Amino acid sequence: MLVFTRKRDQTIMIGDGIEVRVLRVGRDGVRLGVSAPADVAVHRREVYDTIREENRQAAAAARTKVPLLRTLRSPRVGSRPRTA
Amino acid sequence: MGTHVTPMTPPGPIRVDTGFGEFTVNPGDLVSFPSGLPGFERCRSFALLSSEELAPLSYLQAVGGPPASFLVIDPRQVLPDYRCALGQSDLGRLGATESSVLLWLAIVSFTDDDHAWANLRAPVVINPQKMIGYQVLPHNSLYPLRHPLTPA
């Protein structure tokens, strides 16, 4: 991990399109502003971790539970996703 | 000296083995997931598979990379008024605008005693025009991470 000490209004650049700026340093935390290209997702880490764990459980459930469903004998066809 | 160009044969249908049977998918029906899904970041291509037995659930199956599959359901089947606003960043990643019609899927999970729930807080969103999908994590979602599903 790269470690920086930044004062308010100072910025870190990541790659050539991402910037993290310290907006405010206070007793209840540090307020950060993030600029990133539209195709880059920015998340609170704990939110991402929560969704990751939910997905892992869901994938494990699909792997173990779905084979118990009754199967058809003939192959089925997937289709291009369409909206209702 | 002339050169001989061998025409590339277009890729044929793909056979996908799922937990409940075999499906045939055309490469053009695969959805690109540039970020994969949280926890499955290297799964970059998915097929959305449906069958009458599974309905209203569908099967989102990773193709061509690490194996992963998910049962999914339209969140409006769970909550008819379900509505999730996408920010500019998510719209941009999907190649969509606010007026684009998008496909929404909630990932379904089970416990061992067959309680099932849908993740309405972080839906999978697919732009059918671009065949691109992401799981979006809205900042201020009021929807539950685990909305119970009652058996049909």
Instruction: Give the pair of three-digit tokens for residue B35.
Output: 């970020």
**Are B110 and B96 contacting, i.e. CB atoms less than 8 angstroms apart?**
no
What phi and psi, each to the nearest 5 degrees, are found at residue A51?
-65, -40
What is the per-residue pLDDT for A78? Answer: 61
Residue corresponding to tokens 């999907």: B94
pLDDT of residue A75: 41
* Mean of per-residue pLDDT scores for chain B: 88
Q: Kindly state the average pLDDT of the residues B94-102.
A: 94
The pLDDT value recorded for residue A47 is 92
Which of B16, B17, B20, B98 has the highest number of chain A CBs within 10 A, making it the mutation to test binding with A? B20
* DSSP secondary structure string for all residues of A2-68: ------TT-EEEETTTEEEEEEEEETTEEEEEEE--TTS----HHHHHHHHHHHHHHHHHHHHHGGG
B48-96, pLDDT tens digit by residue?
998 888 889 999 999 988 999 999 999 999 999 999 989 888 998 999 9
Give the ipTM of the model, two decimals please: 0.88
Say whether B74 sits in a helix, a strand or coil.
coil
pLDDT average, residue stretch A26-30: 94
More confident residue, A82 or B88: B88
The per-residue pLDDT for range A37-51, each reduced to its tens digit, is 877 788 899 999 999
For residue B14, what pLDDT is reported?
83
**Residue A51, Cβ neighbours under 10 Å: how many?**
22
* Percent of the residues in chain B that have a pLDDT greater than 90, as a whole number: 59
A78 with B49: Cβ contact below 8 A = yes
Q: With 50 as the cut, is the pLDDT of residue A74 above it? A: no
What is the pLDDT averaged over residues B111-131? Answer: 91
pLDDT given at position A79: 61
Is residue B86 within 8 Å of residue B117, measured between CB atoms? no
Residue bearing the bigger pLDDT, B18 or A2: A2
The reply to whether residue B51 touches residue A72, judged by beta carbons under 8 angstroms, is yes
Which residues of chain B have a CB within 8 Å of the CB of A71? Answer: 20-21
Q: Residue written as tokens 């005693």?
A: B113
pLDDT band at A73 (very low <50, low <70, confident <90, very high): very low
Which residues does residue B117 pair with via DSSP β-bridges, in sequence order? B109, B148
- Phi/psi at A31 (nearest 5 deg)? -90, 120
pTM: 0.83
Residue spans of the domains in chain A: they are 1-40, 43-74
3-class secondary structure, B94: helix
pLDDT at A72 over 50: no
All residues of chain B having their beta carbon less than 8 Å from the beta carbon of residue A41 are 35, 89-90, 93, 134, 137
Helix (H) or strand (E) holding B76: helix B75-78
Nearest CA in chain B to A41: B89
